[in-house]
Amino acid sequence: MDLVLQLARMPLKGESLLGSRYSYVAGGKGANQAVAAGRAGAEVTFVGRVGSDTHGQKLQAGLEEAGIDTRYLRHDPEAPSGLAVIPVEEDGENRIIVYPGANMEIEKSDLDTPFRESFDAVMLNFEIPESIIRETCRRASEAEIPVVIDAGPPREVDMSDLPGIEILSPNKAEAAHLLGEEPEALEGEKALSQAAKKLSEKNGAPKIVIKLGSSGAFVFEAAFPDRAAVMPAFSVETIDGTAAGDAFTSAMAVRYLETGDLAEAVEFGAAAGAIAATKLGAQPSLAERSEIEAFLATFL
């Protein structure tokens, strides 16, 4: 659950500052990505945990209202639902403080039944235990199901031992973290290309998409390294960038599964991310496919 705080600016150290509004909005990277993928045109099954609390009930109801299959969403008897506190400044810039809660209580046994089914892809992020990330990748690889990873938030994860990744999509800070570098080291296309190549070699992922926020995304395919380049973002008036990255990655994944064309998929994802940035909150900002297509039609 996201606690979104609207304020003119961030308080200084030791300062109390009056905000203008707060609200509780359904969020969580996995849930955001599930809803975004569903609205972009996919049939989505969600695997995860929430707490046995009011937030957990609301989060499940929100997923079901969005058409997500929640058969494998468990209510943990002890851990509370995850919570994110998100201060949002007037210019749309935000900071996110995450308490994972029940997300960190997922067990390998939670994967048993879902992997008896057949899926076109598995999407993962780093707000769950590393053991579960690793086990999911292993099972998906054995079942020849491609994996798309949104590598956030920054974590100490051994990328060399995650098989089956088709697309790895960190933002710049996350990419630097995975490589043990400072984000400033990834300035410029040459540095981004070197970083993407290192990530691909480290993990074996054939496709790397580094999200650059309002600057676009750096797209790298190991099979065509000379074509690596920054694809620009769409220019919009940002209200809240909270779920823009989740919208981008999910819509990109859906379009990639449909076409196999990464550049087209990134463009589709960029449109979904741009739309999300123009609205307040996480899941309420995620666009339906018709909205994404209409948005693209106005630019192309």
Residue 87: inside a domain, yes or no?
Answer: no
pLDDT value, residue 126: 93
pLDDT value, residue 134: 95
Going by pLDDT thresholds of 50, 70 and 90, the confidence category of residue 96 is confident
Residue 12: inside a domain, yes or no?
Answer: no
In the chain, which ranges are E strands? 2-6, 21-25, 45-51, 69-76, 83-88, 97-99, 122-125, 147-150, 165-168, 207-211, 217-221, 229-231
Residue 15: inside a domain, yes or no?
Answer: no
Share the mean pLDDT of the chain: 94
Task: Please tell me the distance from the alpha carbon of residue 206 to that of residue 219, in angstroms, as a whole number.
Answer: 11
Q: Which of 2, 226, 246, 261 is catalytic?
A: 246
Residue 144, Cα to own-chain centre: how many angstroms? 22
Residue 241: inside a domain, yes or no?
Answer: yes
Residue 115: inside a domain, yes or no?
Answer: yes
Residue 11: inside a domain, yes or no?
Answer: no
Higher pLDDT, 79 or 153: 79
List the beta bridge partners of residue 21: 6
DSSP for residue 12:
P
% residues pLDDT > 70 (the chain) = 100
Q: Where are the alpha helices (DSSP H) in 182-288?
A: 189-203, 244-259, 262-277
174: containing domain:
28-81+102-299
Residue 246 annotated as catalytic = yes
State both tokens at 299.
């630019």
Distant-in-sequence, close-in-space partners of 84: CB < 8 Å, separation ≥ 6: 1, 2, 3, 27, 28, 96, 97, 98, 99
pLDDT value, residue 272: 97
Going by pLDDT thresholds of 50, 70 and 90, the confidence category of residue 62 is very high
Given a contact cutoff of 8 angstroms between Cβ atoms, the answer to whether 285 and 236 are in contact is no
Given a contact cutoff of 8 angstroms between Cβ atoms, the answer to whether 245 and 276 are in contact is no
Please state which of the ranges 21-30, 59-68, 218-227 shows the lowest mean pLDDT: 21-30
pLDDT value, residue 156: 79
Q: What is the CATH number of the domain that holds 181?
A: 3.40.1190.20
Given a contact cutoff of 8 angstroms between Cβ atoms, the answer to whether 110 and 47 are in contact is yes
Q: Tens digits of per-residue pLDDT, 236-257? A: 998 888 889 999 999 999 999 9
Predicted TM-score (pTM) of the model is: 0.91
Number of independent structural domains in the chain? 1
Please state which of the ranges 4-8, 24-28, 68-72, 155-159 shows the lowest mean pLDDT: 155-159
Q: How would you classify the pairing of strands 217-221 and 83-88? A: unpaired
Instruction: Determine phi and psi for 278, rounding to 5 degrees.
Output: -90, 0
Residue 14: inside a domain, yes or no?
Answer: no
Please state which of the ranges 17-21, 92-96, 262-266, 270-274 shows the lowest mean pLDDT: 92-96
pLDDT value, residue 94: 85
Residue 5: inside a domain, yes or no?
Answer: no
